[in-house]
Amino acid sequence: MQIYLPIAELSVNLFFLVGIGGAVGFLSGLFGVGGGFLLTPLLIFSGVPTSVAVASVTGQVVAASTSGALSHYRRGGIDLHLAMYLILSGILGAFGGVAAFSILRANGQLDLVIAVGFVVLLGFVGTLMLQESVRAILKTRKGVVVRERLPNQHSWIHGLPWRVRFKKSRLYISVLPVLVIGLFIGFVGSLLGIGGGFVMVPALVYLLRVPGNVVIGTSLMQVVAMMAATTVMHAVQSQSVDILLAFCLMVGGTAGAQFGAAAGQHLRGEQLRGLLAILVLAVAIRFGLSLVMTPSDVYSMAVTSAVR
C-alpha cells in the first residue's frame, strides 16, 4: 500500500516504512539506543531526501526514547539536575547544528558532511565499544571477575573549575565537561539526525563517572528534551519534518522496541555491546564506502527554491 508523504513529496510503501521502523525499533530496544543512527541512513539509502530523512527521524527519536525515559523516571533512574545541564547545553548545540544543516544544504555539501560525520563518529565509537566488549568477553571466559570502575576514581576532568554537586549521581564535578558533552551531542545529533545516546552513555560513564543506575535514564531524558527542541527547530528552519513519515516510523519503532527489550534480556551485557559495536561499525563502513567508491552517477540535482 503506497502512502504519499506530503513534505517529502513522494509516495512510499507504508509497510516498508512501518517495517524499517519496527526493525530499527527492535534493535534499539535490544541495545537500549534511540536507533536514529540506523534509521537516518536507511531512509537516505532508500531514496528519501537527506534533509527530510534527518529532520523526520529527529521526531521519531523523541517517540522512541519517551517510553524508556518515563519508565526510568518512575524507577528514579534520572539525575534531573545533571540532565538539566545537559539539556540546556544540548539545545544550544542543536541551534548550531540546525544552522549548519541549512547552510550545508544550500551549498550542496550536506550529504558529504553527514557521510563524513557518520564515518568518523560511528567508526570511533564502534571501535571503542568493540575493543571494550571483546576484552570483557575474554575476561569472563577466563573466569576473571570484572571489576567495574568506581565512581570516585577521579581524573583531570574532575579538577576543572565551577564545580557543582550532583546529588543523585553522587558527583561533585566541574560543569565544564558536562556542558561540552551537551553542546557536542546537540550539534552532532541535530546535524546527523541521531539522538546520540550511544555517544552520551560512554561519555557519562567514562568521562564523568556517572553511576550505572542513573546513566541510561539521564541520557534518555536528555535525548527526549534535546530532540524535541531539535524537531521544532528543523520544522521552523528547514521545514523538512514530514509528520506522516515520522509517525509511520514511530508506530513501527515503539512496537519493535518492546520486542527488542524482551529479546535483550536473554543476552549478556558485553555480548549486547559487542553486537551493537559491529552494527555501528557496519553503518560507518557503508558510509565510508559511499565516499570512496566511484558513484554510479557523478551528477546529481537538487531543488533550491520552492515550487512557484
Partner 1 sequence: MRRLVLLVLAFLLPVLPAGAERLISGISNDTIQITSSFSGERLTFFGTIAPEAGSTERTVDGPFDVVIAIVGPTQDRVAREKTNNFGIWLNTEQVEFKRFPSYFHVLSSRRLIEIADINLLNANFILPEAHAMIPNAAGFMKTLIFGRELIRLMSQDGLFGVQENGVQFLSDTFYSAQLTLPSSAPPGPYIAQTYLFKNGEIVARKSEGFAVRKIDFERFLAQSATQYPLFYGLACVVLALFTGWLGGVLFRR
Give me the residues that bind partner 1 (CB under 8 A), please. Answer: 1-4, 6-7, 9-11, 59-60, 62-68, 70-71, 108-109, 111-112, 224, 228, 231-236, 239, 241, 243-244, 246-247, 250-251, 254-255, 257-258, 262, 291-295, 297-308
Q: 269: how many CB neighbours lie within 10 A of its CB?
A: 11
The residue (of 45 and 162) whose beta carbon lies closer to partner 1 is 45
Q: Which is nearer to partner 1, 150 or 303 (CB)?
A: 303
Torsion of CA 48, 51, 55, 60, to 10 degrees: 20
Nearer to partner 1, 144 or 291 (CB): 291
Distance of closest approach, residue 276 Cβ to partner 1, in angstroms:
21
Closest separation in Å from C-beta 228 to partner 1: 4
C-alpha cell at 70: 518515563
* Smallest distance from partner 1 to CB 235, Å: 3
Distance CA 15, CA 12 (A): 9
Q: Which amino acid is at 113?
A: V
Q: How far is the CB of 259 from partner 1 (least distance, A)?
A: 9
Please, what is the minimum distance in Å from the beta carbon of residue 26 to partner 1? Answer: 13
In degrees, rounded to 5, the angle at the alpha carbon of residue 24 between the alpha carbons of residues 18 and 25 is 80
Q: How far is the CB of 253 from partner 1 (least distance, A)?
A: 8
Q: How far is the CB of 227 from partner 1 (least distance, A)?
A: 8
Of 110 and 208, nearer to partner 1 (C-beta) is 110
Q: Which amino acid is at 19?
A: G
How many angstroms separate the CA atoms of 15 and 31, rounded?
A: 24
DSSP reduced 3-state for 297: coil
Closest CA to 148 of 68, 222, 213: 213
Q: Which is nearer to partner 1, 102 or 174 (CB)?
A: 102
User: Which residues have C-beta within 8 Å of that of residue 204, sequence separation ≥ 6?
Assistant: 181, 210, 215, 218, 219
Question: d(Cα 36, Cα 30) in Å, to the nearest integer?
Answer: 14
Give the residue from 43, 185, 288, 38 showing the smallest Cα distance to 51.
43
Closest CB to partner 1 among residues 208, 233: 233
Nearer to partner 1 (CB atom), residue 64 or residue 173: 64
Are 163 and 172 a contacting pair, CB within 8 Å?
yes
